[in-house]
Chains A and B, each alone.
Chain A
Amino acid sequence: MQQPTAFSLSRLSITVRLVVALTAASAVIFAVVFYANYRFTAAMVERQVQAHARDVVQGAVRSIDDTLQGVVRDQKNMVAELERAPRLSVARVRELAKFNVVTNDEVFGSTIAFDPAASPLTNRLFAPYYFKRLNGSIAFADLAVPSYHYPAKPWYLQPMELKAPVWSEPYFDEGGGNVVMTTYAVPFYRSGRDGVRRFAGIATADISIDWLGRQIAGLRLHNNGYAALFSRKGVYLAHPDRKLVLKETVFTVADRVKSPMLQEIGRAIGRGETGFVKGRNIYGVESWIYYAPVLSTGWSLAVIFPAEAMLADVYHASRMIALFCVGGFLLLLLTITLTARTVTRPLVAMTAAVGQVAEGRLDLALPMQAGGEVGQLAQAFVQMQHDLKDYIARLTEATAIRERMAGELAIAHDLQMSMLPKQLPNVPGLSLGALCRPAREVGGDLYDLRLLDDGRIFFMIGDVSGKGVPAALYMAITVSLARAIAQEGETGVAELLARINRELSRDNDTSMFVTLFCGTFDPVDGTVRYANAGHNPPVLVQPDGSTVLLEIVPGLVAGCLEEYDYQEGCLVLPCGATLLLYTDGVTEALNSELELFGEERLLATTAAMVVGADQLPIAVTTAVDQFVDGAPQSDDITLLAIGRIRS
């Protein structure tokens, strides 16, 4: 199944990883610096705008105040005269009102309206009104006419009741001067003969506020800023959009554009507060708005700066900085890439060289590095290359030795096998079988089976203690010795075994020994004479197929004790019976559950077989192999079968 290929930084080359990591880090740094700079600059601009707005507004407000204060001062002088003069003639009053209009550019019209009790026309209304015509000439009108009845007018009642001067809400003077005006009305008092000050009338000055619009339009504001003047009730008194003037209030506009912020500004203006707010103006443009009151009238002047225009410089500067950032970033990228290459180039060279070494070019000179980590790595590789060469040389040598030994062992195996009978004698009436399978190349098992001169058969099976080469050498000695002694025509098998034992025991410093079961078999009458030196008891397969272990006297293994008397046993092998000799490699074969094949199983297996003696060794070996089921053979297996064919 294919592994899902997840992106992982660690899979990439060092160059790419360095570039990616450093690039990401510098991108973050650049971004932070850029953003911080933008915020800082924007905040600075905001502070500057606020300062500028405050300066402009306060300057303008002071200028407006100054002008209005001029009117207030003149009005005060006139009122002082009205209150001071012991007796007021009609002519003097008219003179005063006219003088007020003539001497003040800002004053459009003026009247002195008397309370009937204080009137120069005793107990009659008296209110001469002088005003400027469009051509600049002064005109007169009498307000004390029944159709007008000034004592009921707000401009007369308000200051009278408040006992203080009142600036009226601006209004459009239709029919009079056809200009926007506001009226400054001041109450005046006179002392009667009883010395009590009593209300005597109202002196007014109508002031055109067209000049206010002009003055406000003339304010020098930075960056598309503009100004607006509001009355205490929020009515537009001046605005670049003349359609708003006197027609709208800040509240009606706020309702129209649905701006709670403008509502709030309207309320703040009503309270005569100063403020600086940020938000959308009446055109929906994000702006800074600064407002402050004109103290004498309670009006408020506001200046509005569209944020975009204010921040234009900031944006421009930010664009420039961004450009520098990108440029610097690219330069950094280039530097990082080149540096990373410089760092990894030796590594790449090393990798290529080591790859060639890995392919077997052990003599390749590795690229030497001056120093640093890569230099140390290179040195380590050179050392490893050197060690590897040594190791391979030693390994080659060791392998050669092992191969030579394996060859020698193979030869030893062949030699050992050649010591066993190559061919079993062909004797009429007999069936003979033999098999020897060492657990390793060479083993310690042995057997012999040969026809003696007198027609008898000499047979022998044995097992040298231990395994491998020492056992094989001991086996060779035993076989040679037994063959030589048997050839001498010794009659008794016990004596023959005793002689073999004596020869083996003599000067035997190794304490190695061999179990031997040997004997003679007379094919004529089936007589078997045998002697045993510590070997396993043979199996007797009866003519009816039943099997028993031969009961034999144990006897000491050969090679231990020089003088030992072995006992001769004797039995007659009936026709159809087989004598099966074996070594303990058969009975002690272990399967993977560590169970022994054992004598019981050997007897049962053999009894169940219906093969001739010549095939019996192979059949038993096959049964053992099936039993161990692939477990490695731990001991040599040797079998020898002598069977009499049924007559």
Chain B
Amino acid sequence: MQITTTMQGSIVVAALTGRMDAMTTAEFDRWFTERIGNGDSAFVLNLQGLDYISSAGLRSLLAAAKQLKTKGGSLAICSLTGTVEEVFRMSGFLTILPSFATVDEACASLQ
């Protein structure tokens, strides 16, 4: 899995590409911990390039969302496609994580 980070104002926009499974989730956890350490609190995860997400990946996103919630931050996801969208839909995560069609929409929601 690759994480490509850009900034839109104070919002961290991260494009996740590849597979997010039990092995690669640790990379995301490290990355996220580092960003939190830097004081970032608004995150948009662009999942357009994500081919696969396992339950461990979902747990990692949930943990991130929960951590941000306690600190008054926020996390949005966008550009879900294919099986990844199916997994999010089926697991009910779409009911607890704000999801948008595009990065801009997601950023706008966090302003």
Residues of A within 8 A of B (CB): 463-467, 510-513, 515, 533-537, 554-557, 560-561, 564, 584, 588
Contacts and interface: CB of A to CB of B under 8 A. Distances in A.
Q: Which 10 pairs from chain A and chain B are nearest by CB? A: A556-B92, A511-B63, A534-B91, A465-B55, A465-B59, A534-B92, A466-B56, A557-B91, A511-B62, A554-B92
B96 A515 contact: no
A515 B55 contact: yes
Nearest to A588: B54
B92 A555 contact: yes
Give the one of B55, B56, B58, B89 with max A CB within 10 A: B55
Interface string B31-70: 0000000000000000000000011101110110010000
A564 B91 CA distance: 13
A466 B96 CA distance: 20
B91 A466 contact: no
A534 B22 CA distance: 18
B95 interface: yes
Contacts of B54: 588
Contacts of A557: 58, 91-93
Given A556-B93, A556-B96, A557-B93, A513 B22 contact: no
A511 B56 contact: no
B108 interface: no
Contacts of B90: 534-537, 554
Give the one of B22, B59, B94 with max A CB within 10 A: B59
A510 B63 CA distance: 7
Contacts of A467: 22, 56
B91 A515 contact: yes
Contacts of B94: 554
Contacts of A513: 55, 58-59, 62
A560 B65 CA distance: 11
Given A465-B56, A513-B59, A513-B62, A561 B91 contact: no
Give the one of A534, A536, A561 with max B CB within 10 A: A534
A561 B96 CA distance: 8
A588 B53 CA distance: 11
A524 B58 CA distance: 40
A556 B55 contact: no
Give the one of B22, B54, B91, B92 with max A CB within 10 A: B92
A199 B1 CA distance: 139
B91 A554 contact: yes
Interface residues of B, number: 18
Contacts of A556: 91-93, 95-96
Interface in B64-100: 66, 89-96
Given A465-B58, A554-B94, A557-B58, 17 more contacts: A463-B55, A465-B56, A465-B59, A466-B22, A466-B59, A467-B22, A511-B60, A511-B66, A534-B92, A535-B90, A536-B90, A554-B89, A554-B90, A554-B92, A554-B95, A556-B92, A557-B92
Nearest to A566: B92
Contacts of A564: 92
A561 B93 CA distance: 10
A333 B96 CA distance: 93
A466 B63 CA distance: 13
Contacts of A512: 59
Nearest to A536: B90
A415 B96 CA distance: 34
Nearest to B60: A511
A465 B89 CA distance: 16
A588 B84 CA distance: 13
A463 B54 CA distance: 11
Contacts of A554: 89-92, 94-95
Contacts of B96: 556, 560-561
B77 to A, nearest CB: 15
17 contacts: A464-B55, A465-B55, A465-B56, A465-B59, A511-B60, A511-B62, A511-B63, A513-B55, A536-B90, A537-B90, A554-B90, A555-B92, A557-B58, A557-B91, A557-B92, A560-B96, A564-B92
Nearest to B57: A465
A466 B92 contact: no
A537 B89 CA distance: 12
Contacts of A561: 96
A554 B90 CA distance: 5
Contacts of A536: 90
A432 to B, nearest CB: 26
Contacts of B59: 465-466, 511-513
A615 B75 CA distance: 46
A156 B60 CA distance: 146
Nearest to A584: B55
B67 to A, nearest CB: 8
Give the one of A466, A515, A561, A564 with max B CB within 10 A: A466
Contact of A533 (B22, B66, B92): B92
Give the one of A463, A464, A465, A561 with max B CB within 10 A: A465
A586 to B, nearest CB: 14
A444 to B, nearest CB: 8
B99 to A, nearest CB: 13
Contacts of A534: 90-93
B35 to A, nearest CB: 17
Contacts of B89: 554
Contacts of B93: 534, 556-557
Nearest to B58: A465
Contacts of A464: 55
Contacts of A537: 90
